[in-house]
A and B are shown apart, each in its own frame.
Chain A
């Protein structure tokens, strides 16, 4: 069965600093990987996705993620964080049984 681990429950970062959120997955087949962001009281918005090809993928809002098969990781990065990036971030893997499996999420706090 597929699973996703996000080791960091909460990260605090200063505005303008870089951000990296970790994600490790377990899936037997080729993984389809996603990062979503959720602002308080809102649904999930897709930041980026990895299906195949270039292992560095670019997303919206200046985010990027790197797929590393050898480490079963799909870490999310942003070079310079803005106060509006404060939110909860979820890594997910798509499976052949028509569902997404999500990690527990990482809450990002941005301090001025």
Chain B
């Protein structure tokens, strides 16, 4: 079974631009979560989607948004990029997103904002 895939793996953008990251979950998984990882803040939850519905959102500004498609693939978008948005963005999928469901992580997208 293929794992979680994320594209692109690396991105370089400049301040003020916007970026879209993509995540394909494991086949059969309907929950997709996004996390931001930085050296200073560690792993922080961005949002979670299940059946195209956002069920939870972390404490991030409105510049961070996401969506999920009917095939469970998910995208996240960051508008008006700031230097502090440089991070590793991790996507995770699980069967249903419940607290006891294992979450499987992709390799991440490394975003650098110049």
Contacts and interface: CB of A to CB of B under 8 A. Distances in A.
Interface of A: 32, 34, 36, 41-46, 49, 51, 90, 94-105
A100 to B, nearest CB: 6
A98 B97 contact: yes
Given A41-B110, A95-B99, 11 more contacts: A32-B99, A34-B102, A43-B4, A44-B90, A45-B105, A49-B102, A97-B56, A98-B97, A98-B99, A99-B45, A100-B43
A42 to B, nearest CB: 6
Contacts of A99: 33, 45, 48, 56, 58
Contact of B103 (A97, A100, A104, A105): A100
B42 interface: yes
B43 A102 contact: yes
A79 to B, nearest CB: 25
A92 to B, nearest CB: 8
A16 B8 CA distance: 38
In this complex, the interface size class of chain B, counting residues with CB under 8 Å from chain A, is 20 to 34
Contact of B42 (A94, A95, A97, A102): A102
A43 B108 CA distance: 6
A46 B97 CA distance: 15
